[in-house]
Amino acid sequence: MKRTKNLCLIVLCAFYLFPLFGQKNVEANTALPFGGLVTFTLPCTCSGALWIWFTPLWLGNIPGSGPLVYVPYSSLLYQGYMIGVPGAWHLGEYAPGVQACFQVTPVGCIPQPAIGVITQTGTSVPGLW
């Protein structure tokens, strides 16, 4: 009986000290800011995401040009709801280095290179600054 109580105490302490459920969101710690104007969009035919090319693309203090991936039901979309529409400005955060866009080819699905995945973004109405 005493061994059972000790075992239960050890298990409860393990759950208290090292939680197995409710992992912290890794993206929240690694998200970086971005902003830019959508130039064109490609649908990711294997993964169901959108590959969006921004020009200019501001990654913190670095202006340039490049693609980010919007993943429905994973990326949060805020005011405007014009994701990937050419001429719409986007401002938000992205997780760098994640490949989430795959295109269908005769040999199978291949990754479409991107800077990262959008974690959250808000958009403008196309043509308005």
pLDDT of residue 16: 41
* Domain range summary for the chain, segments of one domain joined by +: 23-123
Split at pLDDT 50, 70, 90, the class of 13 is very low
- Give the alpha-carbon dihedral of 123, 82, 77, 28, to 10 degrees: -50
Q: What's the pLDDT tens digit per position in 36-69?
A: 999 999 999 998 999 999 999 888 777 788 999 9
Q: What does DSSP say about strands 102-105 and 32-43: parallel, antiparallel, or unpaired?
A: unpaired
Determine if the pTM surpasses 0.85. Answer: no
Q: What CATH number was assigned to the domain covering residues 23-123?
A: 2.40.50
Once rounded to an integer, what is the mean pLDDT over residues 74-88?
A: 88
